[in-house]
Structure 1
C-alpha cells in the first residue's frame, strides 16, 4: 500500500488520517457522556475502542491490497471486522457490576459495543451510518435517560428496607409517614433480625413501594431516619443510610 495510490483495495494517507480522526471524534463524544456521569468506561476508553475498531477495519480492507491481484487470493473485508464484534464483549463484560440483585454497567457495556460498530463504519468509509448512529446513541443516553428515570419513578416498584428496634408503635408511624408523602405501599414484611449488645430486638421491615416526586422521597426518608429507633434505611438504587449502634 502506498500513500498516493487509489482504488478499491487502496487508500491514501490523507483518507486514512481523516477516518482515524473521525473515529476519535465520534467515540470521544459518546465517551464524554459516560465520563461526566462517572461510569467505569469513559472518555479515553471509548476513544480507544472506536479508533481501534476503525484501524482494524482499515487493515481488513486495505492492509492486504498488495495481494489483491494474486490468482489464489480471495479478499474478504469483513473477516477482521467480525472478530471485533465478537472480541469487544470481554471489555463490555468488565464494565458490568452485580451487587446483590442490582446490576449496573449494562448501558456502558452496550455503549462500548456500539462504539466498536461506529469505528468499523468509519474505517470502512461508511460516514453517514457512523454519524447517524452516534447521534442516536447520544439521544438514547441523554434524552431517553431522563425519560426512563421519570417512567421508572412513576411506574416501577422499589424495595425499601428499614432496620429498626422492635417497636410496633414506631412501625405504625412509619407507615403513616409514607402515606403523607404519597408513597404507595404494596407489600410489607417484618423479619426478625438479632439482638444488640443492649439486648434489644431489631427487625427489618421490607416494603414494596411506588415512589412519587424526588422531594417527597427525600422528606420521607429524612423524617423516618430521625426516629431514634430507626437504625438504617435503604431504597433500591436510591438511598442507603445507616446509624452506628452504640
Structure 2
C-alpha cells in the first residue's frame, strides 16, 4: 500500500498523542500510582484515534445528499470518549478513612483524553501548551502543599491499666497544642482486666508534633499503650 501524506499525518498524530500522554503519565508513575505511564499513554492514544475517526466520518459520507436518512454528528464519538473516562477515573480514586486519594491521577486521565482529542482534531498548539502547563503543575506545585495549613482527622487511643483514669491529664496535654481539637471521646473498660481505653477523635494539622505528644502521654501513670490512626472525616 502506498504511503500518502494523509497516512503520514495520521501516524504523526498518533505518535504525538502517545508522547504527550506518556509525559504526563511518567510523573504519575514516579509517584507510585497504578495509572501511570502506560495507562495515560494508551488513554491519550485511544482518544486521538477516536477523534480522528470522528473527523473522518464527515469525509466518509460527504457524497450523500440531504435526502439521505444518514445523519452524522462528528462530535458524538468525542463526547462519549470524555464520558467514558468517568469509569476509568473512578477506578483510580481510593477513599480512605479520612482522605480521598487518586483524584490527581483521575484528573490526569481526563486531561490526557482531552489532549488526545486535540491532537486528533489537529489542534497541536493547545495540546502542547496544555501538556506543558500540566507537567509544571504536577512536578512543582505538589511541594507547596506542605506550606498550606490543612486539617487532618486523627483517632488517638490511650490504654491504661488498673483503675487509673487519666482522661483529664490527656486532655490537658492535647490542650497545650492550639491546633489540636478534641471532637469526641469514646470510653471502654474491661471489667476483668480493669483496663481502660480512651479513643479521642481529633482535628489536627499536618505539622502536629506527635512525637512530643506521645512522649508526654507515656509519662502519665498507668499508661500502657498509645496509638494514633487516620480517622473518618466528620
Query: Do both proteins adopt the same fold according to a TM-score greater than 0.5, normalized to the shorter chain?
Result: yes
TM-score, reference length from structure 2: 0.80
Q: Are the counterparts in 2 of residues 68 and 74 from structure 1 also a CA contact under 8 Å? A: no
**How has the CA–CA distance of structure 1 residues 87 and 200 changed in structure 2, closer, same or farther, with 3 Å as cutoff?**
same
Output the aligned Cα RMSD.
2.9
Distance 1:157 1:52, change over 3 A: same
Measured in 2, the distance between the counterparts of 1:41 and 1:146 equals 21
Between the two proteins, the alignment pairs up a number of residues equal to: 222
Say if 2:128 is the partner of 1:160.
no
How far apart are 1:130 and its partner, in Å? 0.5
TM-score if structure 1 supplies the norm length?
Answer: 0.77
Q: How does 1:6-25 map to 2 (within 5 A)?
A: 12-25=6-19
Equivalent residue, structure 1, for 2:145: 148
1:205 paired to 2:200: yes
Q: Is the 8 A contact 1:164 1:204 kept in 2?
A: yes
2:209 corresponds, among 208, 211, 217, to 217
Q: Distance in 1 between matches of 2:25 and 2:43?
A: 10
Choose the corresponding residue for 2:179, options 155, 166, 184.
184
Q: In 2 relative to 1, CA 99–185 (structure 1 residues): closer, same or farther, beyond 3 Å?
A: closer
Q: From 99, 102, 107, give the equivalent of 2:99.
A: 102
Q: 1:47 and 1:196 mapped to 2: Cα distance? A: 60
1:242 is aligned to none
The question of 1:45 aligning with 2:39 is answered: yes
**Alpha-carbon distance in 1 for matches of 2:135, 2:217:** 38
* Deviations 1:152-176 (CA, angstroms, capped at 9, x unpaired): xx2x222222111245448636853
Distance in 2 between residues matched to 1:77 and 1:123, nearest whole Å: 12
For the 8 Å contact 2:201–2:231, the answer to whether it is kept is no
Return the offset for 1:185: 2.0
Q: What is the Cα deviation at residue 38 of structure 1?
A: 1.1
Which runs of no fewer than 5 residues in structure 2 stay unpaired?
none
Does residue 87 (structure 1) correspond to residue 60 (structure 2)? The answer is no
CA drift of 1:220 comes to 3.1
1:229 corresponds in structure 2 to 224
Alignment match, 1:8: none
8 Å contact from structure 2 (residues 182, 200) kept in 1: no
1:111 has 2:103 as partner: no
Q: Classify 1:178/1:27 alpha carbon distance in 2 versus 1 (closer, same or farther; 3 Å).
A: farther
- Deviation of 1:177 after TM superposition, in Å, equals 7.4
